[in-house]
Amino acid sequence: MKTVLITGASGGIGAAIATQLSQAGYAVALTYNKNKENAEKLCTRLNNAQAFHCDISSFASVEKLYSDVINAFGHIDAVVNNAGAAFTGLVQDMTEAEIISLVNTDLNGVIYSTKFAADHMVKNHTGVIVNISSIWGVVGASCEAVYSAAKGGVITFTKAMAKELGYSGIRVNCVSPGVIKTPMLDCYSADDLQALADETPLGRIGTPQDVAKTVKFLISDDAAFITGQNLVVDGGISL
C-alpha cells in the first residue's frame, strides 16, 4: 500500500485531500499543529490513517515528522504540502514577527518538507510531490501582499524542483485554488460570498473536494507525464 503524507490536514482542504486519497487506497499520514482533536477524529473516519504533530515553519519539527512517518509506515510515496496560514492587511501595518511567521509557514514550510521528501524519494527513484499555492500567488492580491509573495514563491519553487528531481523519477506539481468554501471564509457575509460567486465564470464558490480531486489526479498514474505545472482550480475567477 502506498503512503501519502499530507501537511495541514486537520480541516478544510487538507481533510478533503486526506479523505479522497484514503478512498483511493492510500495509507495516510496527516499533520496538525494545533488542531489535534480534529486530526484524530479524521483518522477515525479513514482507513490506515495516523496523525502527527508538526510545526511546518520549524526545520527541526519537519525533520522529526519525516522520521516519525517513515518509522510508522516504512516509506513515503507521495507528499501534499498543504499547510499554510493567511493574513489580511496592509504591508505597512504588519509587524516583523507577522511577516516572518507568514513566510516561514507558507513558503519555508514547503521548502523544508520538500527537502526531506526528496531525501527519502531520491533513494527510491520514485515519488510525487504536490504543493498547494493560491491564485494570489499567480496574480497577487491587495491586502494580502506577503501571502501572495510566499505563494508565488511556492509556484516557482515547484517548477525548479521539478527540474531538479525529474531525473530521479520524482514528479513535482502545484495546485492553486481560488475562492474555496472553508472556515477561512467565515468572516465574509452571505452577500459577500454571493458577490464572489457572481464574479466567478462558473457561477459558484469552489469546494474543498474540487481541490482534493485535482490533487488526487496529479498524484495518480494518470498524470505520469505531468511535472512542473501549476494547475489553477478557481472556476475562472482569475481570468
- Rounded distance between C-alpha atoms, residue 45 and residue 124, angstroms: 30
Q: Which helix (H) or strand (E) holds 130?
A: strand 127-132
Residue pair 216/19 in contact by the 8 Å Cβ criterion:
no
**Given 66, 147, 167, 188, which residue is catalytic?**
147
**Cα dihedral 72, 175, 108, 85 sign:** negative
Q: Which helix (H) or strand (E) holds 173?
A: strand 170-177
Strand partners, 53: 32
Of 62, 74, 159, 155, the residue nearest 117 (C-alpha): 62
Count the Cβ atoms, other than its own, within 10 Å of residue 159: 16
Say whether 236 sits in a helix, a strand or coil. Answer: coil
Cα 19 → chain centroid: 14
- Rounded distance between C-alpha atoms, residue 119 and residue 109, angstroms: 16
Catalytic status, residue 147? yes
- Rounded distance between C-alpha atoms, residue 79 and residue 65, angstroms: 12
Residues labelled catalytic = 147
